[in-house]
Amino acid sequence: MSFFIFIVSLLMGCGGSSSDDEDVSTMPTNLEIEAIMKGVDDSNPNGDGSGEVLFVFSAKNADSYKLSLGDGEIIETSSTSLNYTYTGAGLKTFQVFISAYNGANYISESIQVSIKINTGLVWSDEFNSNGAPNSSNWTYDLGAGGWGNNEAQTYTKETANVIVEGGFLKIIAKADGNGGYTSARLKSQGLQSFKYGRVEVKAKLPVSQGTWPAIWMLGDSFSNVGWPRCGEIDIMEQTGGDKGRTLGTLHWWNNANSSNASYGTNTTVENATSEFHIYSLEWNENSLRIFVDDVEFFVMNSSADFPFNDKFFMILNVSMGGTLGGNIPNDFNQSTMEIDYVRVYQ
């Protein structure tokens, strides 16, 4: 278990009795607070998702404390520490007020805590077993034909294009030596699908121009109603021409005017091709939000009119060329998307 400590240097606040004959020796002084989040490390600067925070506090001349924890909870204690678990999902910020009491006299200060909260891990693939991806989690789309976007690759399930090794899933787009390209497209269709929650994928993206990596979801109704009526959630797409930016997009069918509809935006991601980043979706019946490293850059409200109230399955792929891949360099050899894990919390 690792911890991170927020230390706040505090000045004495005002409070308590204002009587002229007040005994100032009974006023609490020097209130200090620490907020210690569970599980912080370089990859998880806002905690491990448990929502656990240990508050440690002290003041001279104090015999009790009151904590207003920022989520509506108020706790009184004579102890100088409190372990508290926040609930919810995503990166949440709480303004916590702590008062130190001696009788009717008190001083108060506050601390702001930004903590990552996941309500419960319901499914994950950590890619810890070398070889082919786990067949209980993943199957494949196979073949060529442009896939509706004029893409240049042929999808295979060969180890040259998809393999788990060293704790990572690797999807490798390659030149085939004959003017074509091969790659892989994994999907959890028919195996794992989800309605609402938080989806996290930790990934390092391919560096080569012309590659179009994607982390996305389609509705389980895809086989029956097709695209876009089934709904599409693009948690991460990266164009072939801009490797320092990723996109978040939703696609659906607009019943009002009988046409395809979409909404998307993008964000800068430094070192997306040389470092791992966490691409995540928070999804409930009212909205869909997309984040990179817990920083929100996309939000769209939802309702019963949208197809985002049913189960969706995961897709992981790297395509070549096409609508977002663009021009493929003549000297392209191969480029890889590495995925550390896929996790779903509900």
pLDDT tens column, 158-216: 999 999 999 999 999 999 999 999 999 999 999 999 999 999 999 999 999 999 999 99
Please count the residues of the chain: 346
Residue 120: pLDDT band with limits 50, 70, 90? confident
- Grouping H, G, I as helix, E, B as strand and the rest as coil, residue 146 is helix
Q: Which residue has the higher pLDDT, 6 or 109?
A: 109
b/e sequence 55-84, b meaning 16+ C-beta within 10 Å:
bbbebebbeebebbbbeeeeeeeeeeebeb
Domain ranges of the chain: 3-117, 121-345
Q: How far apart are CA 81 and CA 94, in angstroms?
A: 18
The sign of the CA dihedral 228, 234, 239, 240 is negative
| pLDDT at residue number 24 | 63
State how far the Cα of 98 lies from the Cα of 113, in Å rounded to an integer: 13
pLDDT > 70 fraction of the chain, expressed in percent and rounded? 93
Question: Which residue is associated with the tokens 């909205």?
Answer: 287
pLDDT attached to residue 119:
76
Whether 264 has a pLDDT exceeding 80, the answer reads yes
Above 70 in pLDDT, residue 303? Answer: yes
- What's the CA gap between 300 and 302, in Å, rounded? 6
What are 2's two structure tokens? 């690792």
Q: How far apart are CA 256 and CA 264, in angstroms?
A: 20
Q: What angle do CA 148, 151, 157 make, to 5 degrees?
A: 100
The answer, yes or no, to whether residue 291 has pLDDT greater than 70, is: yes
Examine the pLDDT at 127 and tell me if it is beyond 50.
yes
pTM of the predicted structure, to 2 decimals: 0.76
The whole-number average pLDDT for the span 300-310 is 93
Helix (H, G, I), strand (E, B), or coil: what is residue 314?
strand
Place of tokens 């997309």: 290
CA 186 to chain centre: 20
Top mean-pLDDT range of 11-20, 25-34, 86-95: 25-34
Nearest to 183 by CA among 194, 170, 195, 164: 170
pLDDT surpassing 60 at residue 10: no
Superfamily name with CATH number, domain 3-117: Immunoglobulins (2.60.40.10)
Residue 228 has pLDDT above 60, yes or no: yes
Active site residues: 232, 237
CB 292 within 8 A of CB 267: yes
pLDDT at 52 over 80: yes
Contact 243, 261 (CB under 8 A): no
What is the rounded average pLDDT of the residues 140-163?
Answer: 98
Task: Identify the band that residue 67 occupies on the pLDDT scale cut at 50, 70 and 90.
Answer: very high
Identify the bridge partners of residue 8 per DSSP, sorted by sequence position: 33
Distance of CA 8 to the CA centre of its chain: 28
pLDDT at 17: 44
Give the pair of three-digit tokens for residue 286. 């009212």
Give the span between the Cα atoms of 47 and 306, in whole angstroms. 33
CA distances from 141 to 132, 134, 188, 261, 311 (A): 15, 15, 10, 25, 19
> What 3-state class would DSSP assign to 244?
coil
Sign, CA dihedral 149-153-156-162, equals negative
**Residue 15: pLDDT above 80?**
no
pLDDT band at 23 (very low <50, low <70, confident <90, very high): low
pLDDT value at residue 259: 94
Taking the alpha carbons at both ends of the chain, their separation in whole angstroms is: 23
Report the mean per-residue pLDDT for the chain.
92
pLDDT number for residue 182: 98
**Right CATH for 121-345 from 3.30.1490.20, 2.40.160.20, 2.60.40.640, 2.60.120.200:** 2.60.120.200
Give yes or no for a contact between 233 and 283, defined as CB atoms under 8 angstroms apart.
Answer: yes
pLDDT at 7: 39
CA distances, 342 to each of 199, 216, 241, 274, 313 (Å): 7, 12, 26, 19, 12
* Neighbouring residues of 198: CB distance < 8 A, sequence distance ≥ 6: 89, 90, 118, 119, 280, 281, 282, 283, 344, 345, 346
